[in-house]
Amino acid sequence: MSVWLPSAPCTPGTCVERTGSATAVPRAVLRLAAVVALVLAGIGLLPLGGRIPAELVRRWCRWIVRAAGVRVRVTGTAPPTGGTLLVANHISWLDIPLLGFVRPARMVAKAEIRRWPVAGALAARGGVLFIDRDRLRALPDTVDRIARALRAGQAVGVFPEGSTWCGRAQGTFRRAAFQAALDARVPVQPVRLRYRLDGGTASTAPAFVGEDSLLASVWRVVSARGLVAEVDIREAIPYGSHPDRRSLALAAQPGVTAQLGWIHTALVA
Domain of 192, in residue numbers = 12-268
Task: Specify the DSSP element, H or E, that contains 265.
Answer: strand 265-268
Q: 218 near 206, Cβ under 8 Å?
A: no
User: What is the number of helices (H) and of strands (E) in the chain?
Assistant: 9, 8
Confidence of residue 112 (pLDDT cuts 50, 70, 90): confident
Stronger pLDDT, 139 or 229, i.e. the higher one = 229
User: What's the alpha-carbon Rg for the chain, to the nearest Å?
Assistant: 18
Q: Which of 40-49, 158-167, 181-190, 229-238 has the lowest average pLDDT? A: 40-49
- Is residue 1, in this structure, part of any structural domain at all? no
Q: Kindly report the pTM of this predicted structure.
A: 0.86
Q: What is the CA angle 8-218-34, rounded to 5? A: 150
- Is residue 181, in this structure, part of any structural domain at all? yes
Confidence of residue 131 (pLDDT cuts 50, 70, 90): confident
CATH code, domain with 80: 3.40.1130
Residues 6+ apart with CB under 8 A from 44: none
Query: What's phi and psi for 13, nearest 5 deg?
Result: -70, -35
Instruction: Tell me the average pLDDT of the chain.
Output: 84
Task: Specify the DSSP element, H or E, that contains 27.
Answer: helix 25-45
- Is residue 4, in this structure, part of any structural domain at all? no
- Is residue 7, in this structure, part of any structural domain at all? no
- Is residue 2, in this structure, part of any structural domain at all? no
- pLDDT score, position 256: 46
Q: 174 near 160, Cβ under 8 Å?
A: yes
pLDDT at 250 over 90: yes
- Is residue 5, in this structure, part of any structural domain at all? no
Q: Can you tell me the distance from the alpha carbon of 32 to that of 191, in angstroms, rounded to the nearest whole number?
A: 27
Confidence of residue 10 (pLDDT cuts 50, 70, 90): confident
- Is residue 6, in this structure, part of any structural domain at all? no
- pLDDT score, position 6: 65
Number of domains in the chain: 1
Q: 71 near 228, Cβ under 8 Å?
A: yes
- Percentage of the chain lying above the pLDDT 90 cut: 51
Pairing of strands 155-158, 227-233: unpaired
- Is residue 61, in this structure, part of any structural domain at all? yes
Most confident of 121-130, 184-193, 202-211: 184-193
pLDDT at 18 over 80: no
